[in-house]
A = this chain, B = another copy of it.
Amino acid sequence: MKKVNVYVTLRESVLDPQGSAVKGALHAMDYKAVQDVRIGKFLELQIDETAGDIDALVKEMCERLLTNTVIEDYRYEIEEAVSQ
């Protein structure tokens, strides 16, 4: 079993209203040092390592389902085998 961490973030050019709301809330709580907040998704996948080319598999799943590539970027890292 391999553990794959996928990080999905909004592209730089896309407005992030959720991030703005959190920034506003932090400022209201007097955390004025926070200059910017962007919020993305973090997915942890457990993938059967007999599946072959995990790298290609993850890329395909990201492109087809996990991210909206028009407005989102993604990156991922594949961790070593997880004990079962």
Interface residues of A (CB under 8 A from B): 1, 7-9, 19, 22, 25-26, 29, 31, 33-48, 50-51, 57, 61, 64-66
> Closest residue to A3 on the B side, CB-wise?
B36
CB A38 to nearest CB in B, in angstroms, measures 4
Kindly report how many copies of this chain are found in the complex they form together. 2
Contact assessment for A39 and B46 in the assembled complex, using a CB-CB cutoff below 8 Å = no
Shortest Cβ gap from A20 to chain B (Å): 13
| Nearest B residue to A36, CB-CB | B46
Closest 5 CB pairs of A and B: A33-B51, A36-B46, A42-B42, A40-B42, A33-B48
C-alpha spacing A35/B57, complex, angstroms: 13
Tell me how far the C-beta of A52 lies from the nearest C-beta in chain B, rounded to whole angstroms.
8
Could you tell me the distance between the alpha carbons of A33 and B41 in the complex, rounded to whole angstroms? 22
